[in-house]
Amino acid sequence: MMLPPIPAPLRAPLDRAIEVNKMVLDLVRQSPPWKSIFRNAYPNTDENRALVMFNSFFLHIMPVKVKQNTLKWTYTFGLGLMTFYLFLLLFITGIILMFLYVPAAERAYQDMQRLGTSVAYGQLLRNSHRWAAHLMVLFVFLHMCRVFYTGGYKPPRDFNWVVGVLLLVLTLLLSFSGYILTWDQLAASAITVGANIGGASPFLGGIVKAFILGADEPGPATLIRVYAFHVILLPTAVFIMAGVHFWRIRKDGGLSAPATARKARHVLVPSARGGFTVKEVPPVSPEAQVPPSPEEVRR
């Protein structure tokens, strides 16, 4: 990187500042508490880059090394990652909202209004929770499309695709249950349509409807029920299933990637004179990587 030259009078104090900074950092990094938490030195050598991943509870779900393809922006668009981040944001903003909201039919709506009028940053908090929820549904869907169109659902990732479909359903249910909690007319429309659909289940209609509503009609019993789904049942299910989802990524060999690196390679072939010849094989197109199937040969 090109930086402008440092003017002469500034050079000495700047050097001194860097020196002091380094001294303080060293002091912290040599201290027993720091070393008790971080058991390896700063990850600027290959060994420490490996250790930092092993030694951290939060990082150890990730591998020490990742395929270059995994980091290619146009391969994943970061959709699964963003879905997870949105879930984290929703988890945090949701907990704060729980401090400020009582799921009782006679005051839920007033609590919603109070968020906008008498809670510091209450409206921003609620907005974040709402928009992040919509974005999460969108990104789950886009993530599914990405995995499909890159063939990521195929073995050995077949089971993880099934887990992913279940996570899609859980996300829709989470978003839907949260939508009810505002206890306004949007919620009334949603629960009416939702209960109608649930009640239309063949054979189980009545049971499903009662399970959703907790009564014959949408009302106070519905609100507390949907709240319990929204803050405990469904998030717990998502945490468990997302845990399985991420763990399976590791167990299935990381994210899917093209089977053959598309670059020139060298192979040895027997030559006519009895020796061997090094030949360069030019990069091949994806279609030509695997011999055509008998079905295709026939055409």
CA distances from 132 to 87, 108, 136 (A): 8, 21, 6
Nearest approach, Cβ of 30 to other proteins (angstroms)? 21
Find where tokens 């907990």 sit. Answer: 95
Span 180-199, contacts to other proteins by CB under 8 A? 182-194, 196-198
Count Cβ atoms below 10 Å from residue 230 Cβ, excluding itself. 22
The DSSP 8-state label assigned to residue 150 in this structure reads T
Span 30-69, contacts to other proteins by CB under 8 A? 43, 46, 49-50, 52-53, 59, 62-69
Find where tokens 């054979």 sit. Answer: 203
Which residue among 3, 278, 294, 297 contacts other proteins (CB under 8 A)? 278
Please check whether residue 188 is in contact with residue 223, taking contact to mean a CB–CB distance below 8 angstroms: no
Please check whether residue 198 is in contact with residue 212, taking contact to mean a CB–CB distance below 8 angstroms: yes
Three-state SS at 110: helix
Separation of CA 61 from chain center = 13
Residue 177 as a binder of other proteins (CB under 8 A): the answer is no
CA dihedral 24, 25, 26, 31 (to 10 degrees): 90
34 vs 109 by CB, closer to other proteins: 109
20 vs 246 by CB, closer to other proteins: 246
Residue 206 as a binder of other proteins (CB under 8 A): the answer is no
168 vs 233 by CB, closer to other proteins: 168
Span 103-122, contacts to other proteins by CB under 8 A? 105, 109, 112-113, 116
Interface characters, 214-253, with other proteins (x: CB under 8 A): ---xxx---------------------------------x
Nearest approach, Cβ of 51 to other proteins (angstroms)? 10
Which residue among 7, 33, 275, 294 contacts other proteins (CB under 8 A)? 275
